[in-house]
């Protein structure tokens, strides 16, 4: 793959990217076969690590994002809604690959004791989606304009094994796990007037335990755990655990977040190294020699999935993307990879995030550089085929917004793009203005290296479509 490991799908992470981003790399510092040749136990442990990576990462993310007494910025206590109010500017450094298209409205809940009721207001035909992720990072339900429309809706999120009666007008959504992440996104143009409209919508959302539904209820203050590391990126916290710490946590999480029925073959293997759902980890079954080596090999194997993905990742015209997100079945490597680089990714029917760091020139690729002018040309009638919206976002090489004279961080149809005489639409990617008559199509670039991300929300499933490859992303080329 020509695109770096950290680029693909970062946009799908949203809030999670803040806590996941890390530059840590794991090297194989010795011949693996010298240590583990013929060791079935070792490779079962590597497989177990990969299998459990999403659940462990989700839990560590939950701890960081909820470890506050009251909602503040990108964090809120369990059961309380985070409401991001504005798009970031070029000074923002909390989240890698931020977007200037949707305002996040999110929360973590634990449905092990009782269901939680989510009330979504009438969105007035505004595009929005509200995916619900289980502890394994599967999007098990996704209410929103594409699936359930924009009228007011009320859902009870119930946990594994819950049985009971719900109030009239409340639709049940069964979560396979006790951990649930509500990761809503609401489209906003970013004007003062539209900000106000979205804020009013955000303030109408309600999230309460079932026992408080229909009653006056105020959430209790959150409990702040001083032992939670709030500074180190979550991915780094997970990756630096040794196998003993990692498997102990995994076994504990499995008590309330059971594996799926389809996971039975791997669950049977897990028992051989002391991991049995519903029980504490039996560390006596894990060879102490492997405690540090297992995470190193497993993380390297997950990241190598970039190169050896067997079609799980695409690389077309310098754009890398995947349409295998949100629901993973037993594709544990893909699930772990998306967890590592884009926790919170949507189903492809809701969003696809092609990313490009280099311009393809025949057999070679060169990093984009602001000293050069580039164009991206959409032929007549070939703008990204979506039913939601599309945008092209500019980042510097570290995946942050770029300061520019017109404060434009992304470009889309809302810029009133001007077509050429032949009907094509040319996006002009350059550091200096192309002139007043062409500024509508100008995406300003920084002086140095930069990265482009194309967001396609609610991709059209009819031809042409990015979902089946019948719509092909045009290459970015040097101007002239």
Checking if the pLDDT of 414 tops 80, the result is yes
pLDDT at residue 311, as a whole number:
78
pLDDT at residue 365, as a whole number:
87
From residue 283, alpha-carbon distances to 143, 199, 232, 255, 290 in Å are 42, 50, 27, 17, 12
pTM reported for the whole predicted model: 0.91
Checking if the pLDDT of 213 tops 70, the result is yes
Checking if the pLDDT of 96 tops 90, the result is no
CATH topology of domain 357-478: Jelly Rolls (2.60.120)
- Whether the link from the prior residue into 196 is cis, omega within 30° of 0, is no
- Residues 56 and 256: their CA atoms lie apart, in Å, by 13
Which residues are paired to 364 by β-bridges? Answer: 361
- Residues 236 and 232: their CA atoms lie apart, in Å, by 7
Tens of pLDDT, residue by residue over 326-383, are 999 999 999 999 999 889 999 999 999 999 999 987 778 899 999 999 999 999 999 9
Tens of pLDDT, residue by residue over 246-278, are 999 999 999 999 999 999 999 999 999 999 999
pLDDT at residue 435, as a whole number:
95
- Mention the CATH class of domain 1-332: mainly beta
Q: Which stretches within 311-402 are classed as H helix?
A: 332-342
Residue 67's pLDDT band (cuts 50, 70, 90): very high
pLDDT at residue 16, as a whole number:
52
83 or 360, which is more confident: 83
Checking if the pLDDT of 18 tops 80, the result is no
Checking if the pLDDT of 232 tops 80, the result is yes
pLDDT at residue 5, as a whole number:
43
pLDDT at residue 480, as a whole number:
79
The domain limits of the chain are 1-332, 357-478
Task: Calculate the average pLDDT of the chain.
Answer: 91
Q: Which residues of 213-226 are buried (b: 16+ CB within 10 A; e: fewer)?
A: beeeeebeebeeee
Contacts 24+ apart (CB under 8 A), 267-271: 269/44, 269/47, 269/48, 270/44, 270/48, 270/51
Which residues are paired to 367 by β-bridges? Answer: 358
pLDDT at residue 25, as a whole number:
36
Residue 101's pLDDT band (cuts 50, 70, 90): very high
Tens of pLDDT, residue by residue over 136-177, are 999 999 999 999 999 999 999 999 999 999 999 999 999 999
């Amino acid at each position: 793959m020509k695109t770096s490991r950290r680029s693909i799908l970062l946009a799908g992470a949203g809030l999670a990217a803040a806590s996941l981003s890390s530059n840590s790399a794991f090297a194989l510092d010795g011949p693996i076969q010298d240590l583990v040749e013929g060791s079935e136990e070792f490779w079962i442990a590597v497989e177990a690590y990969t299998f459990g990576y999403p659940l462990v990462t989700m839990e560590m993310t939950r701890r960081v994002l909820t470890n506050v007494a009251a909602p503040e910025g990108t964090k809120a206590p369990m059961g309380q809604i985070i409401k991001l109010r504005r798009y970031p500017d070029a000074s923002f450094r909390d989240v890698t690959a931020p977007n200037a298209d949707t305002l996040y409205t999110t929360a973590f809940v634990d449905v092990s004791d009782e269901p939680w009721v989510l009330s979504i207001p009438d969105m007035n035909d505004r595009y929005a989606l509200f995916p619900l992720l289980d502890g394994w990072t599967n999007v098990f339900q996704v209410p929103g304009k594409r699936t359930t429309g924009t009228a007011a809706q009320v859902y009870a999120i119930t946990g594994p094994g819950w049985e009971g009666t719900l109030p009239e007008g409340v639709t049940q959504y069964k979560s396979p796990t006790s951990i649930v992440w509500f990761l809503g996104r609401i489209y906003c143009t970013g004007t003062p007037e539209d900000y106000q409209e979205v804020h009013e919508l955000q303030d109408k959302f309600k999230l309460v335990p079932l026992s408080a539904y229909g009653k006056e209820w105020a959430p209790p203050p959150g409990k702040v755990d001083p032992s939670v590391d709030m500074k180190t990126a979550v991915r780094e916290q997970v990756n630096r655990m040794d196998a003993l710490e990692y498997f102990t946590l995994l076994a504990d999480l499995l008590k309330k977040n059971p594996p799926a029925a389809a996971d039975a073959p791997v669950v049977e293997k897990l028992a051989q190294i002391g991991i049995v759902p519903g029980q504490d980890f039996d560390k006596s079954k894990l060879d102490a020699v492997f405690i540090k080596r297992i995470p190193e090999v497993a993380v390297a194997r997950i990241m190598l999935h970039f190169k050896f993905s067997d079609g799980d990742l695409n690389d077309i015209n310098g754009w890398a993307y995947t349409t295998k997100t949100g629901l993973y079945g037993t594709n544990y490597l893909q699930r772990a990879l998306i967890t590592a680089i884009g926790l919170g990714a949507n189903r492809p029917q809701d969003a696809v995030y092609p990313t490009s760091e280099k311009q393809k020139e025949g057999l070679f690729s060169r990093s984009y550089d602001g000293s050069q002018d580039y164009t991206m040309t959409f032929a007549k009638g070939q703008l990204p085929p979506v039913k939601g919206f599309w945008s092209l976002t500019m980042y510097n090489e570290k995946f942050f917004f770029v300061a520019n004279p017109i404060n434009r961080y992304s470009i889309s149809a809302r810029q009133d793009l001007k077509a050429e005489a032949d009907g094509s639409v040319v996006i002009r990617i350059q550091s200096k203005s192309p002139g007043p008559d062409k500024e509508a199509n100008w995406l300003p670039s920084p002086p140095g290296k930069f990265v482009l991300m194309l967001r396609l929300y609610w991709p059209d499933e009819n031809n042409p479509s990015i979902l089946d490859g019948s719509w092909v992303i045009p290459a970015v080329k040097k101007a002239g």
